[in-house]
Structure 1
Amino acid sequence: MVPHQCLGSVWSRRNRPGNEHVAPTVRATIAQFNVVASCIITTCLGDPSMTAQDRAVVVGHWIRVAKACQILGNYSSLRAILEALQSVSIHCLQRTWDNVSRKSF
């Protein structure tokens, strides 16, 4: 990411017509974040035949991936994983969270 593209004066002009080229690295970072979060939500909810226990295994996997991202210093992916797991669609799955290993927490 190019730091000066994060400045308010540059970023605030991004939605004006003809400014699609403004802050390309910031846009790419946001797009990557959204793809990672969407992937996590899809793997947790994409198969309607999954049981709460199956979903708990998947959630546990993503928690381990988040821990690995933290160790590696990949904070963008770590944050995307946490945001996905805290999204309303996953967070409200009480039976799934009841089956997630306490060690994962």
Structure 2
Amino acid sequence: MMRMAAELFKTLVPAHCLGSIWSERDNRERESLAPTVRDTVMHDNTMANCILVTCLGDASMTAQDRARVVELWIRVAEECRGLGNFCSLHTILSALQSPAIACLQDTWGQVSRESS
């Protein structure tokens, strides 16, 4: 997924990022005006959802299980930072800071100090 994010980022057309055309979701006529931005946003949303599912998707997980998964994603984020992949780093951090995960006090209480 991280390699795919890098490839999508390389294809971004700077002019597509300047306007607000790409964010107009309800206008079908403008749907194809900024395809590189739309593809990148869709990939980031898919990656964030994957992170949420790995942390919350299994109802039988304990707080300790979830804490280990959160620590794994923190390590992945650290690797992204080391590689200069700030787009994926931001996506991971945003997912971990989303209300669904951020409010899990028992889980965060079990995340190692080193990771957090």
Under a length normalisation based on structure 2, what TM-score does the superposition of the two structures give? Answer: 0.85
Corresponding pairs, count: 105
Paired residues for 1:71-86 under 5 Å: 71-86=82-97
1:16: how far off? 2.4
Give the CA deviation at 1:14: 6.2
Q: 2:100 aligns with which of 86, 89, 101?
A: 89
Q: 1:9 to 1:36 in 2, by over 3 A?
A: closer
Identify which of 16, 22, 29 aligns with 1:18: 29
Question: 1:7 Cα shift?
Answer: 1.5
Q: Considering fraction of residues, name the structure with more helix.
A: 2
Is 1:43–1:58's contact at 8 Å kept on the other side of the alignment? yes
Q: Distance in 1 between matches of 2:110 and 2:77?
A: 18
Answering whether residue 77 of structure 2 is matched by residue 66 of structure 1, we say yes
Partner residue in 2 for 1:53: 64
Structure 2 unmatched ranges of 5 or more = 1-11
How many Å apart are 1:11 and its aligned residue? 3.6
Q: CA RMSD in A?
A: 1.5
Query: Percent identity, aligned pairs only?
Result: 59
- Report if the CA contact (8 A) 1:40-1:81 is conserved: yes
The aligned counterpart of 1:27 is 38
